[in-house]
A and B are shown apart, each in its own frame.
Chain A
Amino acid sequence: MKTILLIATDSIRSLLHHRLLLGLMLASLALTIFFSIAMSMARKNITASFSDQATINSVMDSRKMSEADRQTFRQSMEMASSTFQGFFYIVASFGGSLVALFIFGTAIATEIRKGTIRLTLSKPVSRTQFLLGKYMGGVAVMAGYALIASIAMLVFAHFQRMELSPVMRWAPWLMFCRQMMLGSVVLLLSLFVHPVIAAVLAFFSGNGLYSPPNPLYFILPSYSEFDVTMEVLSGTLIAGKDVALLSLYALDFVVIIMLLALWRFRTKDLI
């Protein structure tokens, strides 16, 4: 375990020294913040004078709205808030997927290309320990990404005096689970093909291209279940039980893919 943790720590260190990756992460976060600001400005325009519930109520009273109109008006106000959150989630999730594809796709391939794997594996380090260490390093970086994205979301919501959509409680965790699945797939594929091809294949392997009649639906990962954009927009809640089931599915999927990756890695020529 000590060896795996050491390789994971080294992997994090190496990723933090990777200019392209840092650029990608910063660009992803900057894009998220940019979209958030743009959305919040749009929201401000919509709700120019309706900054709180009391004002909204007074507007509805002054307009002598019927109950049905009031309902529609309230929904449109809630929609403006959830659209902001939805955009934030989409951009953070997409950016995170790109970062995951980059981190896991290059984790082994870069070590082989640079030749650094030779010195590491000349020490009493098994290939299994090496692969697991590399994966864990990626997991730690992605957890950091999810954490930063969550904090950014909370800070924005606080300054906008906005109530978070109920599903946002689980959104970062589900985004993280999805990225771990994507990461394991790209890691496996990168042991067969060039990392860029692996990233493209992994990205399109489970993006809802296949529906149940297609046998590929049952073989390829189903990431769409982890996408809560619609729930964020509609303000609906995901049951804790569903989150637990999705987490189990992700764990199960990652274990299977990592076993396949281990089998491939143990027989691969590392030069």
Chain B
Amino acid sequence: MAAIHTENLSKTYGGGLRGKKSVALRGLTLEVREGEIFGFLGPNGAGKTSTIHLLLNLIRPTSGSASLFGLPVTDAEVHRRVGYLPESVNLHDYYHGRKLLNFYAVLAGVPDAARSGRVAEMLRLFALEDAADKVVSKYSKGMAQRIGFAQALLHDPDLLLLDEPTSSLDPVGRKEFRDILLELKRRGKTVFISSHILSEVETVCDRVAILQQGELKRIGTLQELSAGRSTKFIVKSLPAPALESIAATAAEITLAQGLVTIRCQNESCRKEIECLLELHGVQITQRETVAQSLEEIFFSTINSSKTS
């Protein structure tokens, strides 16, 4: 069973009396398998947070549907299996740290007998024991982020929805966060991370999806997304008409040591260059396929979408 399933999920804000329409998400069809760490990438305004809000039933879809573990997101009971950490953690800051976690533990349905032990475990895991009896409004941003993460893990959920989880953490905190994610993965938990920090996603995620302007552009494992995508053609000479045609594409042309190098960052560009070289009768001296980093995949996806 899929941990997350969305079918043609769309969300439009505003319109009518509420002002100008703004499309946040367009027909998102996505499936996140149980036990995988899934990276959800995209520039600001791509629709990542809206997707998470739809999955938590905080906003209503304009069309389409979403389910978690086979249950519709409108069923509050499914949240027993879900933990959530928002981008900006806004807590009931009049509680002390321990009492806040206790409050969320009761809401999450942690049994009475296990509650205090579980709260203590989370305080220890997130190095908040010394601040446990301090009022939350006095917490630093990093501490608030850590207690936010602690409340998401309190009830040992099967699925974690994390929206920019490391935005307020220092490098040490990020490293600890990564270790916790890997531990969760080892225990078979599903993690859905929306993040801007590509290197972080690259090191922990099994699969990623790239979203732009509310549309899903690419989805797959890093190997699937980078395989054969970045191609380098080396030719001895390039006639003027061929140069003109190639310059009009997304390919990058460089001239060094009497050789012309043409780089293509994606599959469609590669096909286009191959056709043009053949059309102009240009002999390919050397062809190389280079594996791309997540950053290259991300930017080539975003740039090719902009070009198209």
Residues of A within 8 A of B (CB): 2-3, 6, 10, 13-14, 17, 114-127, 129, 267, 269-271
Contacts and interface: CB of A to CB of B under 8 A. Distances in A.
A10 B82 contact: no
A119 B76 contact: no
Interface of B: 13, 53, 56-60, 76-80, 82-84, 86, 88-92, 94-95, 103-104, 106-109, 148, 151-152, 155, 161
Nearest to A116: B90
Given A6-B103, A17-B94, A114-B90, A122 B56 contact: yes
30 contacts: A3-B107, A6-B103, A6-B106, A10-B92, A115-B90, A116-B90, A116-B91, A118-B58, A118-B90, A119-B86, A119-B91, A119-B151, A121-B56, A121-B58, A121-B76, A122-B79, A122-B152, A123-B109, A123-B155, A124-B76, A124-B77, A125-B107, A126-B76, A127-B76, A129-B76, A269-B13, A269-B58, A269-B59, A270-B59, A271-B58
Contact of A124 (B59, B60, B79): B79
B107 A118 contact: no
B59 A14 contact: no
The majority secondary structure among interface residues of chain B is mixed
B94 A13 contact: yes
B298 to A, nearest CB: 26
Given A119-B84, A122-B84, A123-B79, A6 B94 contact: no
A114 B95 CA distance: 15
A124 B86 contact: no
A266 B80 CA distance: 20
Given A118-B53, A122-B84, A269-B13, 6 more contacts: A17-B94, A115-B90, A119-B84, A119-B89, A121-B57, A125-B79
Contacts, number: 78
B90 A6 contact: no
A115 B86 contact: yes
A125 B53 contact: no
A119 B56 CA distance: 10
B119 to A, nearest CB: 15
Contacts of A114: 90
A124 B107 contact: yes
Contact of A267 (B60, B89, B108): B60
B86 A123 contact: no
Contacts of A120: 107
A1 to B, nearest CB: 13
Nearest to B55: A122
A126 B60 CA distance: 14
Given A121-B57, A124-B79, A269-B58, A6 B88 contact: no
Contacts of B92: 10, 13-14, 116
Nearest to B13: A269
Nearest to B59: A269
Contacts of B155: 123
A120 B109 CA distance: 12
A232 B2 CA distance: 67
A119 B151 CA distance: 9
Contact of A123 (B53, B91, B108): B108
Contacts of B86: 115, 118-119
A103 to B, nearest CB: 16
Given A126-B76, A269-B58, A269-B59, A119 B108 contact: no
B59 A10 contact: no
Contacts of B60: 267, 269
A271 B79 contact: no
A271 B108 contact: no
B9 to A, nearest CB: 15
Contacts of A14: 92, 94
Nearest to B76: A126
Nearest to A16: B94
A121 to B, nearest CB: 6
Nearest to B78: A124
A271 B59 contact: yes
Contacts of B13: 269
Nearest to B163: A118
A270 B151 CA distance: 20
Top 4 A-B pairs, shortest CB-CB distance: A115-B90, A122-B84, A123-B107, A17-B94
